[in-house]
Every structure is written in structure tokens, then in C-alpha cells.
Amino acid sequence: AQSVTQLGSHVSVSEGALVLLRCNYSSSVPPYLFWYVQYPNQGLQLLLKYTSAATLVKGINGFEAEFKKSETSFHLTKPSAHMSDAAEYFCAVSDRETSGSRLTFGEGTQLTVNP
């Protein structure tokens, strides 16, 4: 069974500081990996996804993530936080070998950006 662990349910950074949101996965086969963002009272918006091409994936809004197989990690980073980045972030995994694979989500990390 696949699983995702997001370290830190709450992360607080200052505007302009580095954002680092941690995600570790467990999967018996090489997975697809995703980061989604959720603003209050809204659905999920895809930030980026890893599907076995380059291990460093660039997404929207200046975010990027690096797939590290040896560490089973897919941490999300942004060099300089903006107030508009305050939201909840979810890491998710799916099984690339299974047609119709479901997404398995982590518990989420609430990002607060302080002025």
C-alpha cells in the first residue's frame, strides 16, 4: 500500500524567506508524485507533478520539487515566500503501474507567511 507523510502540519515563514515543505512517500513501485495547494473554501490546485522525467520538477507560482529515490522524498521548495502563498499544501502519490490509480494524500501542511 502506498502512503505519504508530510513532516510538519504547520510551517511559518517570513515574507521573502525560503519555503520548504517536506514529503516522504512509501510505495512498492516507482510512483507518480504530486503537490497540490488548497486555499480556504476551495478545491485543490495542482502545483507540480513528477512522472519519471527530470527529477527536479518546476511548477506554477515559482515552486519546485526534487524527487530523491534514495531518500523516498519529494520536498517542495520556493526561494522567496509571498503573502499569497499562505495556504494548505498536500503531497500525493499514485501508482504508475495501475490503470485508474487513485491519489493517496498526506495530511497536509498549513503554510503561514508573516509580513
Partner 1 sequence: DAGVTQSPTHLIKTRGQQVTLRCSPKSGHDTVSWYQQALGQGPQFIFQYYEEEERQRGNFPDRFSGHQFPNYSSELNVNALLLGDSALYLCASSLGQGRWGYTFGSGTRLTVV
Residues in touch with partner 1 (CB under 8 A): 4, 34, 36, 41-46, 49, 90, 92, 94, 96, 99-108
CB 49 within 8 A of CB 34: yes
Q: Which residue lies nearer to partner 1 by CB, 40 or 115? A: 40
In whole angstroms, the minimum distance from the beta carbon of 30 to partner 1 comes to: 14
Q: Least separation, in Å, of the C-beta of 75 and partner 1?
A: 17
Residue 60, H or E segment: none
Contacts of 81 (CB under 8 A, 6+ apart): 13, 14, 15, 16, 17, 18, 19, 111, 113
Q: Which is nearer to partner 1, 81 or 92 (CB)?
A: 92
Closer by beta carbon to partner 1, 73 or else 94: 94
Could you give the 3-state DSSP secondary structure of residue 5? strand
Which residue(s) pair with 35 in the sheet?
A: 48, 91
Half-sphere exposure of 50 (CA within 13 A, CB side): 27
Closest approach of partner 1 to the CB of residue 23, in Å: 11
Whole-number minimum distance, CB 87 to partner 1, in Å?
A: 14
